[in-house]
Amino acid sequence: MELRKFALYVSRTRVGMGLVMMASPRIAFGPIYGREVSEPAAAAIARMMGAREAVLGAGAAIAVGERQGGANWVSMLAVADGIDAVVNLTSRRLGWRGRVLGTLAAASAGAHLMLAKQLAAESV
């Protein structure tokens, strides 16, 4: 698959994930964090995370599509995933599912950094 098409696919997927997080935090996070996600404060935080995902994904998709700053936006997706990884891996009493999510977030951060680097090299 062509690099830019792949970057668009990844970015648009993040938009979709963010919309699901905002619309139904319990469906998005319940299997990972348990029934506490239904608490009002946890649901609000989950919705904020969803908004972050949707905005970063949309920004990346637009930038990649317009061939202007796509690498920067994709690298910000990596930063967001890196933060998620640190939070999930260092939070006490989170459970094994949170650790798995943290590990996946760390892998995603690395993959997004590699994608951003490739996009940057392509635009030079």
* Prediction pTM value: 0.90
| pLDDT at residue 102 is higher than 80 | yes
Parse the chain into domains and list their residue ranges.
3-122
Q: Find tokens 């919705």 and name the residue.
A: 47
Q: Find tokens 């996600």 and name the residue.
A: 37
Q: What is the C-alpha separation between 85 and 35, in angstroms, rounded?
A: 21
If one compares 73 and 124, the residue with the highest pLDDT of the two is: 73
What single-letter DSSP state applies at residue 69? S
The 3-state DSSP class for residue 93 equals coil
Per residue in 16-32, pLDDT (tens digit) is 999 999 999 988 888 88
The CA–CA distances, whole Å, from 90 to 28, 44, 57, 103, 115 equal 21, 21, 26, 11, 26
Q: Taking each helix axis from N to C terminus, what angle separates 96-122 and 25-33, rounded to the nearest 10 degrees?
A: 120
If one compares 92 and 48, the residue with the highest pLDDT of the two is: 48
